[in-house]
Amino acid sequence: MSTLRFHAIKESLANKPVLVEEKERRSDLFGKNVFNENTMRQYLTKDAFIGVMNAIQYGKKIDRNIADQVSSSMKDWALSKGVTHYTHWFQPLTGTTAEKHDAFFETIGNGMAIEKFGGSQLVQQEPDASSFPSGGIRNTFEARGYTAWDPTSPAFIYGTTLCIPTIFVAYTGEALDYKTPLLRALNAVDNAATDVCKYFDKNVKKVTSSLGWEQEYFLIDRLLAASRPDITLTGRTLLGHSSAKGQQLDDHYFGSIPNRALNFMRELETECMLLGIPVKTRHNEVAPNQFELAPIFEEANLAVDHNSLLMDIMGRVASRHNLKVLFHEKPFAGINGSGKHNNWSLSTDTGVNLLAPGKTPMSNLQFLTFFINTIKAVYENEELLRASIASASNDHRLGANEAPPAIMSVFIGQQLTKVLEELEGVTKGKLSPEEKTELKLNVVGKIPDVLLDNTDRNRTSPFAFTGNKFEFRAVGSLANCGNPMTVLNTIVAKQLIDFKKEVDLLIDKKGLKKDEAVFNVLREYIKSTKAILFEGNGYGKAWEDEAKKRGLSNNKSTPEALKAKISKKSIALFEDMNVMSKIESEARYEIEMEAYIMHIQIEGRVLGDVARNHIVPTAVKYQNILIENVKGLKEIFEENYKAVSQEQINLIEEISSHIKGINATVTKMTNERRKANAIENIEEKALAYCYQVKPLFDDIRKHCDKLELLVDDEIWPLTKYRELLFTR
C-alpha cells in the first residue's frame, strides 16, 4: 500500500496544468447550448413561443399541439449541434441527478430510418422507478414512475445529449424528487407575496423567489484521492493526523489561485457559460486546497437546477485535469469544512427586490413587512428549517466549532436591531399624526442610510440578513438546494398569508388605515420573535445555554433534527400550502433517515477495513523492525542492552497498546452495527447508529492517528494530510 502512496505522490507531482484556451468572450458563449428564450424565438412558431412563455411566466398548461411544435423545433436545434440522444433529466431523492438516454433514431421499415422526437416524448416518459428511494410510497414490484417536462427550466445540451429538466412522480401521483415540492412552494410564495405586495403597489402581478448559491469545495489530486479507500468510498478521510501546517497562517484565503486549480476553473466556467450557468466569482477559501464558486442570482427553480448540474460538471472537468472534487462538508479533520450558502430573496415583476430598502417611506414599509415576516417565519419554524439541512455529512460541520452552529438564529446587525426596537414602541391601535410622521420620516425613511453604513457580518449565524437578501449559511456543500428552498419558501408563504389575514382584520373590524394596521401587526411580530435574533458568537456552550433559555432547539444530530419533518405542525403546514401531502412528508423522513443509517454503516465498514487491514499490519511490520533492532542491540551489548534499547522497547509497547485499542474498538463497533441492524423501527435504528456506532469512529481514529506519528513514514500506507492538502 505504501508503494501505491509513493507512486501516487510521484505521479501527482509530475502533473502539469492542463492547457485551457478561451477564444470567445463569456458573453458570447453564454447560453449557446441552452434552448432559452432567444433560441426559441429563432426556432418556434409564434403560437408555440407564446404557449411556452405563458407556461413559464403564468404557469399555464401547454396543449399537445404546442408540445409537438416545441419538440420538433427542439429536435432540429439539437441535431444542428451534433446531438444524437435526448433524456429527461431529473433529481430523485438520492441527492444526485438521474438520466436515461434515448436516441432520436427510429426505423421506419424497408431498411430506412429517421430522427424522431414527438410532443409525447418531450412532455412525459415512464422510467423504471424501482431503484429510486420512495420512502414506502410504492412497492418494489410497482416500479412505474413518470417524468414530466418542466418548461420553466430550459432544456440544454451536454455532450451529445439533449437534457430536458423534468419532475419525477410515482404512478399514484406523489412526488419522488426535489423539484416537484419546490415548484409547489414557489407557487405558494408567489401567490402569498403578491397579495401582500398589493398593499403597496396594485400593479404587482407576480413575485419570484431568487437564489444565489455559493458552492464551496475541495480540489485534490486524483491519484492521491484514489490512494485513499476512505475518500474513494465515503468522500472524506475517516482517519489521518493533522498536518503540522494547516490553515493557521490564513495564507490560503483569497490568495493566488494555484495554476492547476485555476485552469480547472477556467474550463469549468466555459462549460457553465455554454449551459447558461451565470458563474461570476471564484476564489481560494480558508482551508488549503479549498475553493469557492458563486453565480449571479437566478430564479430559485432554475438556480437549483444549475447547482445540481454544476456539481456533475465539476466532477467531469476535474477528471480531465487529473483532479478530484470533494463536496463532503467535512472531508478533513482540523480544518474548515464546506457549505453552500443559499442567498435568498423575493422580487416583483415590476423590478423591486422586496428585501431591499427603497427611497420612500412606503417602499421601506414594504421592505420591513417582508423582512419582519421572514424573521417570524424562521422563528415559528426553526426546527423545520434545521431539518431541511440535516444529513450525516453536514452533522460534522454544524456546531463543530465552525460557522454556523446547529441552533437556528437570525442575524440582522445592530443598526436594523435599533430600527426594530423603535418600531416595537408603536402605539396600539390608531396612530397620531405626529407618530405617523415620526415613523415615516425618522424611522422607516432612514433605513437606506442605515443599511448603507451597516457592515456587520456574523459568520457564525446560520441565517443572516446581508443587505438585500437573507443568507442561509447552514446549507451543506453536498446538499441539493431544493430541500432548504422548499422549506424556506413554504414557511414564508404561510407567514405572509397569516400576516395578511391579521392586517385585513384590523382594517375591516377595527377601522384602522392600511399603514396603521401594518405597523400594529409588525409591532407584535417584533415583540414575539426576539428569541430568534442573535448578534453574538454562535460557538460554544454559552450560546447553547442562552438558546435553551430562549426556547430554541439544538438538534445536533440528523436523527434528532429530522423528527421536525413529521411533526403534526409540519405536516399540516405542507398540506395547507399544497406543497406536500402527509404521505410525501413521511416518505421523505423515511428516505433521509435511511440515507443517514446507510452513510454511517458504510463509513463504519470502510473504517474497520482500513484500520484492521491497512493500519494494523503496517504497525506490526514496523514493530517487527524494532524487535529485530532490539535483538541486535542485545547481541552487541548483552546484559547492558536495555540501557541503549529502552526507547525502542517503549515504542514497541506503545504500538502494541494502539493495535490492541484498534482491534478491540473495531470489534465493538461491528457488534454495535449488528445490534443496530436488527432494529426494525427506523428512528430507533438511526439513533443507535448515531449514539452507539458513530462515537466509536473517534476512538478508532485516535489510535490510528497516533500510529501515524510512530510508524516509519516510508512504510505508512495512506497518503497523509500534508500530501493531500499541499500538493497543488
pLDDT tier for residue 250 given thresholds of 50, 70 and 90? confident
Amino acid at 29: L
Q: What is the model's pLDDT at position 491?
A: 98
Distance from C-alpha of 260 to C-alpha of 20, rounded to nearest angstrom:
10
Q: What is the model's pLDDT at position 338?
A: 95
pLDDT tier for residue 399 given thresholds of 50, 70 and 90? low
Task: Render pLDDT for 268-280 as a digit per residue (tens, 0 to 9).
Answer: 999 999 999 999 9
Do residues 325 and 215 touch, judged by C-beta distance below 8 A?
A: no
The better pLDDT of the pair 28, 460 is held by 28
Do residues 527 and 225 touch, judged by C-beta distance below 8 A?
A: no
Do residues 12 and 54 touch, judged by C-beta distance below 8 A?
A: no
Mean pLDDT of 701-725: 96
Q: What angle do CA 503, 504, 507 make, to 5 degrees?
A: 90
pTM reported for the whole predicted model: 0.95
End-to-end CA distance of the chain: 22
Do residues 258 and 728 touch, judged by C-beta distance below 8 A?
A: yes
Is residue 211 within a helix (H) or strand (E), and if so which, with residue range? strand 207-221
Beta strands in 285-371 (DSSP E): 290-295, 298-299, 323-326, 340-348
DSSP for residue 256: P
Looking at 551-612, list the stretches that DSSP marks H as alpha helix, in order from N- to C-terminal side: 558-562, 568-576, 582-610
Distance from C-alpha of 222 to C-alpha of 233, rounded to nearest angstrom:
14
Distance from C-alpha of 476 to C-alpha of 391, rounded to nearest angstrom:
8
Amino acid at 502: E
| 252 phi, psi to nearest 5 deg | -100, -35
Q: What is the model's pLDDT at position 454?
A: 56
Mean pLDDT of 666-694: 97
Percent of the chain with pLDDT over 70: 96
Is residue 677's pLDDT more than 90?
yes
DSSP for residue 626: H
Is residue 174's pLDDT more than 70?
yes
Q: What angle do CA 603, 604, 605 make, to 5 degrees?
A: 90
Mean pLDDT of 134-144: 63
Query: Which range, 161-175, 406-420, 558-572, is most confident?
Result: 558-572
| 31 phi, psi to nearest 5 deg | 75, 10
Q: Which of 130-134, 252-256, 479-483, 689-693 has the lowest mean pLDDT?
A: 130-134
Q: What is the model's pLDDT at position 107?
A: 79
Mean pLDDT of 255-265: 93
Is residue 401's pLDDT more than 80?
no
Q: Which of 7-16, 212-221, 714-723 has the lowest mean pLDDT?
A: 7-16
Is residue 456's pLDDT more than 60?
no
pLDDT tier for residue 455 given thresholds of 50, 70 and 90? very low
Residue written as cell 428511494? 133
Q: What angle do CA 670, 1, 224 make, to 5 degrees?
A: 95
